[in-house]
Amino acid sequence: MYCDYLVQILTARVYDVAQESPLEYAANLSTRINNKLLLKREDMQSVFSFKLRGAYNKMAQLAPELLAQGVIAASAGNHAQGVALAARQLGTRAIIVMPVTTPQVKINAVRSHGGEVILHGNTYDDAYTHARQLEAEKGMTFIHPFDDPYVIAGQGTIGMEILRQCQQPIHAIFVAIGGGGLISGIAAYVKRLRPEIKIIGVEPVDADAMYQSLKAGKRVRLPQVGLFADGVAVREVGEETFRLCQQYVDDIILVDTDDTCAAIKDVFEDTRSILEPAGALAIAAAKTYAEREQIQGQTLVAVACGANMNFDRLRFVAERAELGERREAIFAVTIPEQRGSLRQFCECIGKRNLTEFNYRIADEKEAHIFVGVQIENRADAAKMVANFEAVGLKTIDLTDDELTKLHLRHMVGGRSPLASNELLYRFEFPERPGALMQFVGCMSPNWNISLFHYRNNGADYGRAVVGMQVPPQEMEQWQAFLDTLGLNYWDESQNPAYKLFLG
């Protein structure tokens, strides 16, 4: 059936529940990418995402008798909140089927808006199948999250607002893609009025259903999808959204988890707001595109489409953001197990800040150090490898190794048969450039370092745990050495956890 999306968007009923979200200038990001980046702040809606636009527009079009029977939806979270809020506004019942993997913050939000939640399956597709079964059983109306002209038109009001809010030339608009409803609506409006503006979709590398479909010329169903950006974890895009994307979308950029985490941090630094992973995809792509195309002085718009972030994920996001920004490199460096080699290692690092330092004595001839270092760019990392190898230190660059980033960095260590007469101390020192290297230099008098662990936690004080092999007859000298450091320290040699896992 033909649908004139320009008319549908201009007449869409969204503002009973949605606000015209701001189009904000991202000053820090703009400076970094040498272009003017504007953020369309859909994360500021009452349900912290754009989804209430399409859901309400669809439900507002229902005949009164259908609306009275209630609505049902399947959603990974944000569409669910939109349907629940719209149902409460329109005075009807809403059942939402959500994957069991849905973050608790989204489940709680749906319930707070009066929605009845049913958890089923591991993905959106599992929830969708179950919701369709319940639709037939209960005689309710299914509200599709993306593959419906009224839903698409509701999301398209974002494109209408962008063109009204930004009168100057726009080079490109970046939009996250899950099922394709958001980008279809925006593209259908923008391309009718300003066809010169590029519409660029964004997907995670492990949930790229639209990218695969456009490349194949037909809808492709993915065997599985990554769940980090759960808001776009869709195995198969819609029929209508695929048709519109074929017609209007200029390009699709794929971004990985580290790029997404870096974008979350970037937006926080500009706005003090925390986007969810799916909400930050467009920002990550805008950065990638500006670098890839080598453009300068252009106006780019990125739709910040959601902020339903699970607080528990912040630790992971913070850790991976540095990697996504190409500001941290991770190395495994092998040094001779002899006096002076650690100092030589420190000299190779120079004045760079360390983000992590792990070492455990394991071999009489060689020591293996796991180290994270702040860098300016990837070329800086290559330069560091050259510095290490120039003095004979074997080095492996682990920056892009997923096993290392997810697991191995937390597993370095263990018991060692070589760690005789080992003392374990925690130290606290002022966190400033070069402080850790200065500290390491102080830790090499007459005793052997058998264990070292440090991680930069963004605090004013750095914290390290150090194992030192000190002969019993030299304990007085060791105590005198501690007193000269001028640092806070704690003797952990009798700590039961240390004895269990390291001692």
The CATH number of residue 97's host domain is: 3.40.50.1100
Asked if 173 contacts 298 with a C-beta cutoff of 8 angstroms, the reply is no
Q: Are both 317 and 344 inside the same structural domain?
A: no
Residue-wise pLDDT tens digits, 93-114: 999 998 887 778 788 889 999 9
Under 8 Å CB-to-CB from 318, ≥6 apart: which residues? 261, 265, 458
Q: What is the DSSP string of 437-467?
A: HHHHHHT-SSSEEEEEEEE--SSSEEEEEEE
User: Looking at 265, 291, 322, which one is the last position of a domain?
Assistant: 322
Q: Do 223 and 359 fall within a single domain? A: no
Determine the pLDDT at residue 480.
87
Lowest mean pLDDT of 221-230, 283-292, 430-439, name the range.
Answer: 430-439
pLDDT band at 487 (very low <50, low <70, confident <90, very high): confident
Q: Where does 249-305 have alpha helices with state H?
A: 257-271, 277-293
Whether pLDDT at 361 is above 70: yes
Higher-confidence position of 2 and 72: 72
- Name the DSSP letter for residue 330: E
| Number of domains into which the chain is organized | 3
Domain check: are 304 and 391 in the same one? no
Residue 465: which CATH number?
A: 3.40.1020.10
For the chain, percent of residues with pLDDT exceeding 70: 95
**19, 76: one domain:** no
Final residue belonging to a domain, choices 268, 293, 322: 322
Run of H or E including 358:
strand 354-360
Helix (H, G, I), strand (E, B) or coil at 324: helix
Residues 40 and 55 in one domain: no
229 and 271 within one domain: yes
Q: How far apart are CA 26 and CA 32, in angstroms?
A: 10
Which of 487, 427, 418, 482 is closest to 448 using CA atoms? 418
Residue 342 has pLDDT above 90, yes or no: no
Pairwise CA distance, residues 59 & 216, whole Å: 34
Task: State the average pLDDT for the chain.
Answer: 89
- Give 133's pLDDT tier (boundaries 50, 70, 90): very high
The reply to whether 310 and 238 lie within a common domain is yes
pTM, 2 dp: 0.80
- Residue where a domain terminates, one of 274, 295, 322: 322
Q: How many CB atoms lie within 10 A of CB 244?
A: 25
Does 226 lie in the same domain as 308? yes
Residues 352 and 259 in one domain: no
For residues 76 and 172, membership in a common domain is answered with: no
pLDDT digits (tens, 9 = 90+) for 9-37: 999 999 999 999 999 999 999 999 999 99
For residue 367, give the 3-state DSSP assignment. Answer: strand
Dihedral (CA of 126, 132, 138, 140) sign: positive
Pairing assessment for the beta strands 36-41 and 299-304 based on DSSP bridges: parallel
Model confidence over 172-219: pLDDT tens digits?
A: 999 999 999 999 999 999 999 999 999 999 999 999 999 999 999 999
Is the pLDDT confidence value at 481 over 70? yes
Reported as a single tens digit per residue, the pLDDT across 430-480 is 776 666 666 766 665 678 888 888 877 666 677 888 888 888 888 888 888
Question: How high is the pLDDT of residue 255?
Answer: 97
Q: Are residues 186 and 251 in the same domain?
A: yes
Same domain flag for 468 and 422: yes
The pLDDT value recorded for residue 37 is 98
Q: Please give the structure tokens belonging to residue 34.
A: 């040498």
* Domain that residue 409 falls in: 326-501
**Residue 94: its pLDDT value, please?**
96
